[in-house]
Structure 1
Amino acid sequence: MACSQNSKTRNTGSTEEPTWSELQTDLLQLILKKLSSFEIIIFRSICTSWNSAAESYKLSQTPWLINPTEGQELDADFFNLEENNVQTIKNVFESFPKHTSRWGSSHGWLVILYKEATLHLFNPITGASIELPEIEDIPDTTKGFYWWHIYTARVFFEEPPSGKNVNYLVVIGIRHPARLSFCKQGHISWTDLDGVSDYDYHIDMVFHNDQLFTLDHEGSVEVWDFRVPYPIMKTHHLRAYSICNWNGPKRYAWLVVSTSGEILRVKSATYNDQRFLISKLNLAAEKWENVDRLGDQVLFLAPKQAMALSARDCPGCEENSIYYTFPGKPQVVRVYSLNGNKVVEKSYNFHRKKTTAPLWIVPDPR
């Protein structure tokens, strides 16, 4: 968008082109104070000088839900939890084919997968895109490999990405036979992780302190150490945590790194069952330990992801709570409070395409 606009001066009546890019920083700061988070992101896209003026302005960390607009997969609806409204951005996904799968997210970046089994990293706010190595480069993968062979994909960053500094790790789970493969910034091909059995199915994974933690379908935790050139795996067979003999389907489980660096597991019996169990990983004792309170934390759950943030950084969100949306609740974000272990009355209604799973993102315009 240009930083200029034709107007008529009061003195001469001549047409001049004011240079909006030369507005003083103090004036731009006054404008920024009046804007919502969404408007600040649009503000930054106007021109270089406006973007620079907004760089020091800290955006809210309250996540947004991103979902393709009904009937138009190139557009995207962003549900703003803080402001309880939906903003539509046109042609967000115009550089990708229709019918893509979206996984993620981390620091505002998604993993985009489409039918030809082609993978990209994509920031829907800035439009930045990184093409990942060809999927056929994965060992033992033959031609004719398609997107449905991938059951999960995650992107992790060792530090928040900025400009051209995007130091990423991407891990994908592949069916038939089961395997986990990864690539990092600068890699030209995928590398299989050793130790995955042909029947392993990984429900979720997180990356912390240069270690990849996965939760498999049997409840075991596998840890790969990326501090060495070839990641080494160690399996921890943990006794499944249960309470009141309640053991919900294992597929409704998430791993999440807490704000204090602990590995948490969140379990739900079903998508429609409004109860959650939280436990933290104690590798030394080889067990999960019950967690009754999240303190200042807020958890955000969606079918393909989970994230933990501090309530102090998320205006409008309640601490010690879980904000969740599931396929069974296609147009609602509900709030589960650990104060009494119940769903509070507050809920947020939004319109979205029911057949597509939404994703939480923390918008990052860098």
Structure 2
Amino acid sequence: MDVEIPSDRRDGDVDWSELPADLLVTVFTALEIPDLICCAAVCRSWRDHYYSSTRRLGLCRNSHGPCLLTTSPTGVATLHRLSTGKLYRIPLPDMPPSADTIFGNPYHHPLPGGAPLRDRYVVGSSHGWLVTADELSELHLLNPITGAQFPLPPLRSLAPVRLLFRKNDLTTFYGHSIRDITPRRPKHNPRVPILKYDAAETRYHLYQRAVLSGDPSSQGRKCTVVVIHNPWNLLSFARLGDATWTWLALRPDCLGYQDCFFDDDGLLYAVRSCGEIQTIDFNGSAPVVNCICVPLKHAFDRANYIVRAPWGDILLVWRSFELNDAEEPGTYELAVFKLDLATEDLVQIKDLRGHALFVSFGTSFFVSVNDFPVLTPNCVYLAHDSTKCRRFEHIAKEIRVYNLQDDTFADQYTQSSWKNCPPPALWVQPTCIRMEQSQHGNIEIPQMYGDIQLMPFVDYYTLITLKTIAISMCGSLDLSGEWYVT
């Protein structure tokens, strides 16, 4: 389709709102989400077509490139776009402190409310949402782009946790105690001292990892959140809207969990520190635990990650860290195995079948190299592991690429904007999601694009020029400079 622009108009005077709707929809469905959002900034007409074609009708490309998500002390979330190296910075608003109660009565604490990401400890990431712990170590689901968040059940409902109050003042809360319990021994071991922490410190010593069964905006109350926590890397779960956490203690070996993911059928696959792989079915009235791979030799002293490959195999990633006085501290060994269900054994692989694997403390995922040629096939893109970030700062800033075929590591980014990323840093993959009506009752969910959300009242993108968008529409997606949402 040809669009005629009067010759007497200067480039800066072009009225982009006059472009035909079918042309805009055709272009929008071919763009990645960062470019879509930039296009929505041009004028009201473009924004209307952006909402109608992608949000309401779900017309968008199926695959989107990976981004590295980082934060800053100023409360700014930054997406580092891997395909172009461009930055997308989104300031997050301050949030008021939440009211807490104990036995139905309010209790006081000395910690103020803060920005939803600035003062948070990130525990995990799934489906475009972060699981974060605030300054009271309470957990929240948080979208890092808009600051939209849902509270999760209170920390005091986790089996090993008890609240600590000042003597002679049961309204002055100051911290938590963590009891030493296991599924075999559900009462505290009297031989082990009870660990006590200030409210803000608890999160660093308690939480290990968290995953979601799906996008909370589409699954509603069916969305299940799983948290791996101390002591002994236990597993607890809750559905959105639950008042308490439920401890998974069905078998003596329900401990030592390192990573897990939800499959498309809702089945949770979890790997333990001994290498054993379990499936946990939450679809019934009570969870069902099964072992599909027995404990393995040489599985200890490694970080284990588990992921479903696009071709159907269940893969296990072994990652070894050098944490002390090494010349190059960080990951020094990595191996990828596929699970042979027939023999309950692991087989090492060197071929990812035209894909790149992204591993951080969020849910691991694959990206096709055919869709994003900037990626290197048969490589594992690593970001830091959250359980190491507070104790070992050099691990927190580790962003490397491991080549499976030649067994080499390389630092992916040499630019200071990448190398100096403050923790946390994790890989995310924006996806375009068609909204469904919320099932959260009075919990409001903003319209959403996977990792990217837009609040309807925000008229942003004033720093994006029309000429840049015009260049993008003509075939180049190089949106120069940094993008600030104000």
State the superposition RMSD in angstroms. Answer: 3.6
**Deviations 1:195-214, CA, capped at 9 Å, x for gaps:** 36599332111222332222
CA distance in 1, matches of 2:203, 2:280: 25
Distance, in Å, in 2 between the alignment partners of 1:138 and 1:346 is 39
Query: SS of the counterpart of 1:194?
Result: coil
1:236-284 C-alpha deviation (Å, 9 max, x unpaired): 5635366xxxx7832x221112113322111122263454211122344
Structure 2 residue aligned with 1:249, among 291, 297, 301?
301
Q: CA deviation at 1:112?
A: 1.6
Q: Where do residues 1-366 of structure 1 align in structure 2 (5 Å cutoff)? A: 24-26=20-22, 28-29=24-25, 32=28, 37-44=33-40, 47=47, 49-55=49-55, 56-58=59-61, 60-69=63-72, 71-72=73-74, 74-91=75-92, 95-96=115-116, 98-139=118-159, 141-144=161-164, 145=176, 146-158=202-214, 165=220, 167-176=222-231, 179-195=234-250, 200-208=255-263, 209-235=265-291, 238-240=294-296, 249-250=301-302, 252-270=303-321, 272-303=330-361, 305-326=363-384, 328=394, 333-343=399-409, 347=413, 349=415, 350-351=417-418, 356-364=423-431, 365-366=448-449
Check conservation: 2:267, 2:280, Cα contact below 8 A.
Answer: yes
Structure-2 separation of matches of 1:330 and 1:195: 34
More strand by share: 1
Provide, for residues 21-80 of structure 1, a one-character-per-residue CA deviation record: whole Å limited to 9, x for no partner. x975235347748976423234457755432234423275221111112x42x1112111
Question: In the alignment, what sits opposite 1:6?
Answer: none
Cα 1:19–1:279, aligned 2, differ >3 Å: closer, same or farther?
closer
Instruction: Please tell me whether the aligned partners of residues 330 and 352 of structure 1 are also in contact (alpha carbons under 8 angstroms).
Output: no
Indicate if the aligned counterparts of 1:301 and 1:322 stay in contact, CA closer than 8 A: yes
- Distance in structure 1 (CA, Å) of the matches to 2:160 and 2:209: 19
3-state secondary structure, aligned to 1:264: strand
Instruction: State the SS of the aligned residue for 1:269.
Output: strand
Change (3 A) 1:117 1:329: closer
Residue type at the aligned position of 2:319: S
TM-score (norm 1): 0.78
**Structure 1, 217-226 or 79-88: larger mean CA deviation:** 217-226
**Residue 153 of structure 1: CA displacement?**
3.4
Look up the equivalent residue of 1:123 and give its one-letter code.
N
User: Counterpart amino acid of 1:28?
Assistant: L
Q: Is the 8 A contact 1:67 1:356 kept in 2?
A: yes
Counterpart AA for 1:143: L
Question: Aligned pair in 2 of structure 1 residues 305, 357: CA closer, same or farther (>3 Å)?
Answer: farther
**2:404 aligned partner, one-letter code:** L
Q: Larger radius of gyration, structure 1 or 2?
A: 2
Give the letter for the 2:427 counterpart: W
After superposing the two structures, state which structure 1 stretch, 286-295 or 36-45, moved more: 36-45
Indicate conservation of the 8 Å contact 2:383/2:426, yes or no. Answer: no
Q: Deviations over 1:185-225 (max 9, x none)?
A: 34332211123659933211122233222222222223222
Residue identity matched to 1:153: R
Asked if 2 retains the 8 angstrom alpha-carbon contact of 1:239 and 1:287, the reply is: no
Q: Distance in 2 between matches of 1:266 and 1:216?
A: 12
Aligned counterparts of 2:373 and 2:66: Cα–Cα separation in 1: 10
In structure 1, what is the Cα distance between the partners aligned to 2:30 and 2:279?
Answer: 46
Q: Distance in 1 between matches of 2:130 and 2:341?
A: 30
How many residues align? The count is 341
CA distance in 2, matches of 1:182, 1:330: 27
Which protein has the bigger helix share? 2
Given the superposition, is the C-alpha separation of residues 170 and 44 from structure 1 closer, same or farther in structure 2, using an over 3 Å criterion? farther
> Contact 1:113/1:119 (CA < 8 Å) preserved in 2?
yes
- The answer to whether the 8 Å contact 2:94/2:116 transfers is yes
Number of the residue aligned with 1:7: none
In the alignment, is the contact (CA less than 8 A) between 1:179 and 1:197 conserved in 2? no
1:275–1:342 CA contact under 8 A, matched in 2? no
How far residue 100 of structure 1 moved from its aligned partner, in angstroms, is 0.9
Tell me: CA distance 1:176–1:33, structure 2 relative to 1, closer, same or farther (3 Å).
closer
Counterpart of 1:114, as a letter, is D
CA distance change for structure 1 residues 92 and 324 in 2, over 3 Å: closer, same or farther? farther
% identical aligned pairs: 23
Report the Cα distance in structure 1 between the residues aligned to 2:147 and 2:288, rounded to whole angstroms. Answer: 35
SS in 2 for 1:189: coil
Letter in 2 for 1:112: T
In the alignment, the residues of structure 2 paired with residue 65 and residue 220 of structure 1 have an alpha-carbon distance, to the nearest angstrom, of 30
Aligned AA (2:126): S
Q: Say which structure, 1 or 2, has more relative contact order (CA 8 Å, 6+ apart).
A: 2
Structure 1 counterpart SS, 2:364: strand
When normalised by structure 2's length, the TM-score is 0.60
SS of 1:233's equivalent in the other structure is: strand
**Separation (CA, whole Å) in 1 of partners of 2:93 and 2:364:** 23
Q: Which residue of structure 1 lines up, in the alignment, with residue 185 of structure 2? A: none
CA–CA separation in structure 2 for the residues paired with 1:75 and 1:93 = 11
Gapped regions of structure 2 (runs ≥ 5): 1-7, 9-14, 96-114, 165-175, 177-201, 323-329, 385-392, 432-447, 450-486
Equivalent residue letter for 2:428: I
CA drift of 1:339 comes to: 2.9
Letter of the 2:305 counterpart = W
More off after superposition, 342-351 vs 200-209: 342-351
Contact 1:149–1:176, Cα closer than 8 Å, also in 2: no
